[in-house]
Amino acid sequence: MQTLHADELRLDAYEVSPERGFLPADDPLPYLEDPYYAPWEQIAGDLPKLLVARKIRPVVEATPRLTTERLQTNRERRRAMMLLSYIGHAYVWNGDTPAERIPTNLAQPWYELSEHLGRPPVLSYASYALDNWRRLDPNAPIELGNIVLLQNFLAGLDEEWFILIHVDIEAKAARAIRQIPTAIRAAEAGDLPTLTDALAEVAAALEAMYAVLARMPEACDPYIYYHRVRPYIHGWKNNPALPNGVVYEGVEAYGGQPQQFRGETGAQSSIIPTLDGLLGIQHADDPLKTYLMEMRLYMPPAHRQFLEAVEARSRVREVVQASGDANLRAVYNACVDGVQRFRALHLEYAALYIYKQQAKDAKNPTRVGTGGTPFMKYLKKHRDESGAHRLE
């Protein structure tokens, strides 16, 4: 087996940006310029109105079948994937009962794009957040106050804010992500001062990420989130409203059989699992660990590969443990505490925004997350496991 060296862990080889982390290196494309794709852009632009009028299904069914072959770049493909993912989820969930079949004119191009981009034909975090923002001032930072969404379901302040919080967190995480190759090399070389500096940057990034997450209640109300934002991001795996999944009509690879894919969830973000990998934070085997491993299939493939490379190569925890360096240990513990605090706040929000809400619709259960798991039990466990990795 080939030995992997941290020197090979170049961020650009994994589509990771030192300035932006897992956000795309170029701002997402605001629209597809080829007029051929105007039908997709039109439906997506009208989506909030079509959902209110409950007209999305007949409009989609009347849309021509467009080929994806005219999309020239991955930036265009990511834009198209985002449009079709929003349209697809709107089609499935906008009605008294969910649609169990997606028509060919939507299913085929959605599948083709998923094959190009290496993730399933379903709304995933990459389309919901990573590829779904623009800057009001293109010369100002990617942060709350200067970013807005490119695409919504129903639109409104709460939906906008919920997603933009995630985008800002991704931007703040870049400060940590760009230190990972340095930290891994320093650990391998026994360069404790460089490792200390790198981990101090990771800890500072986690503080900044926490501060952004703490702003969620400012403009995203739990009731509005649960009843207006959440219903459209559910998937069709382990979902009681679609126990068999959804048929993608006209997709030969699926043979007419219903497919089951997870819904959009922050568990598809690469940030926390990558930092777990760097810090050597391990989670005991349980159904949520299995689920989180499955979530990697919904990440952009290059990001998944980066995460796996970090897990395979990082010796940071054992080097800190063996060093006897009190300052290094304190900085390492600050990183562990940062991950634990972030998970703890996320757990609080899961209780407030989902678990404590009053379910009124079988399509939007309180006991199961949008990814299809009984989340409260396992989020508590992962919070506690993170904290248990402090080195005393």
> 368 in a domain, yes or no?
yes
pLDDT digits (tens, 9 = 90+) for 283-342: 878 777 888 899 999 999 999 999 999 999 999 999 999 999 999 999 999 999 999 999
**Full residue range of the structural domain in which residue 373 is found:** 6-11+18-387
Q: What is the pLDDT of residue 146?
A: 98
> 392 in a domain, yes or no?
no
> 31 in a domain, yes or no?
yes
| C-alpha to C-alpha distance for 136 and 27, rounded to whole angstroms | 12
pLDDT digits (tens, 9 = 90+) for 99-147: 999 999 999 999 999 999 999 999 999 999 999 999 999 999 999 999 9
Total residues belonging to the chain: 392
| pTM (two decimals) | 0.94
Q: What is the pLDDT of residue 289?
A: 80
Sequence-separated (6 or more) residues with CB below 8 Å from residue 91? 56, 57, 60, 99, 102, 103, 106
Q: What is the token pair recorded at 70?
A: 């005219």
Residue 130: C-alpha distances to residues 125, 167, 266 (Å)? 7, 6, 11
The CATH number linked to 322 is 1.20.58.480
> 195 in a domain, yes or no?
yes
Q: What is the pLDDT of residue 355?
A: 65
| C-alpha to C-alpha distance for 125 and 264, rounded to whole angstroms | 6
Q: How many folded domains does the chain comprise?
A: 1
Q: Using 70 as the pLDDT threshold, list the residues of the chain that sit under it.
A: 1-7, 355-356, 358-382
